[in-house]
Structure 1
Amino acid sequence: MTGLVRIATAEGIARITIDNPPLNLLSAPVRQGLAAALDAAGRNPAVRVIVLAAAGPTWPAGADIHEFRKPAEGPALGEICAAIAQSRKPVIAALRGTVLGGGLELALAAALRLAEPGTELGLPEVTLGLLPGAGGTQRLPRLVGAKAALGLLLSGLPVAARRAAEIGLVDVVA
């Protein structure tokens, strides 16, 4: 794990915290830390549940655009999302602030999504001509249905947590 991702285990819960201020962007070191933390939690027989959280005021607000001009460094976000989705232990995403782009794709891979009031979720990369690349185009319609998914995928506009709960994007707002 890197210093940008921490894991703490207590009472059967592994809490993996992303701490990459100010926006918790999903840079290569963060992805590497997530991969290591997910692997450690998955192998730990004392862990029954994994909670993904973020330090500071926001969940990951997407990819680090500074990496777009550099050679790709693994693991890819799609690999992290696949590890979350295929985890034998339930993964809960504790959402807050802005849950955008790759951050939303990370949350979509979780078994359960809990959002604080005021959280906004969306895929704004489409306004730049970019498609979600970590499985979001498949997971989103499965979760919310085609009509709601198309609205999110084509507009790039975020939705508030309460609306996200109405359409099934978020399981609980608390």
Structure 2
Amino acid sequence: MQVTMRSENHVGYVTLSNPPVNAIGQALRQGLLEAVRWAERDRLDRVIVFGAGGVFAAGADAKEFDSPPQVPHLPEVLSAIDESFVPWIAAIEGVALGGGAEIAMACRMRIMAPDARIGLPEVTLGVIPGAGGTARLPRLVGLQKAVEMITMGKPIGAQEARSAGLVHAVEDDPIEAAFMVNSEELGCI
């Protein structure tokens, strides 16, 4: 399974697991969509999504590049996360690149480890972010910073992401920090 789900004390833990970089392929997208349904069905208080192996997610699965797109498509998955009544928190370790950054941006809150990096490097491959990153990023960091990040394609570190407003906090243990976020901060009351 590329996405595993467990709950404890009404908190859902969703782990992305497609080694070595948790590439976002069809099975991972399907697993995330199922996780949204699971969280809503079980009426969880929140979902904390993170990557196995110390990496959040490093973008699309290159194995799918030469194949026709398979459902569910990432924009559909991100809309489900974004629109869910259960708030999602991205606990980012390692890197959140491309679609990984877009997953994080679809969450209600983002918490990064101090040495983590986040960005939309698609332009370095000759494409633009295709799963809503070009819309979500400016809302979070402002137009000037978003244009810089999208056109340069250079990932930024945790402190810069915090200063820009892309992430809410930088913590040594982002999963534990996500668990400790109070409901008021998540906008749940």
TM-score category of the 2 structures, normalised to the smaller one: over 0.9
CA distance in 1, matches of 2:106, 2:71: 18
More helix by share: 2
Number of aligned residue pairs: 171
Kindly provide the amino acid, as one letter, of the partner of residue 120 in structure 1: R
2:42 corresponding residue in structure 1: 44
2:113 corresponding residue in structure 1: 116
CA distance in 2, matches of 1:126, 1:156: 6
Which residues of 2 match residues 1-174 of structure 1 at below 5 A?
A: 3-45=1-43, 47-174=44-171
* 1:24-44 deviation digits (Å, cap 9, x = unpaired): 000111111111111111111
SS in 2 for 1:131: coil
**Deviation, structure 1 residue 68:** 1.1
TM-score (norm 1): 0.96
Structure 1 segments of 4+ aligned residues over 3 angstroms from their partners: none
Gapped regions of structure 1 (runs ≥ 5): none
SS in 2 for 1:56: helix
Give aligned-pair identity as a percent: 42
**Deviation, structure 1 residue 137:** 0.3
RMSD across aligned C-alpha pairs, in angstroms? 0.7
Kindly provide the amino acid, as one letter, of the partner of residue 69 in structure 1: D
TM-score (norm 2): 0.89
**Deviation, structure 1 residue 172:** 0.3
CA distance in 2, matches of 1:150, 1:23: 26
Kindly provide the amino acid, as one letter, of the partner of residue 31 in structure 1: R
* 1:37-79 deviation digits (Å, cap 9, x = unpaired): 111111113x111111111121110001120110111101111
2:180 corresponding residue in structure 1: none
* 1:102-124 deviation digits (Å, cap 9, x = unpaired): 00001000000000010011111
SS in 1 for 2:140: helix
Kindly provide the amino acid, as one letter, of the partner of residue 92 in structure 1: I
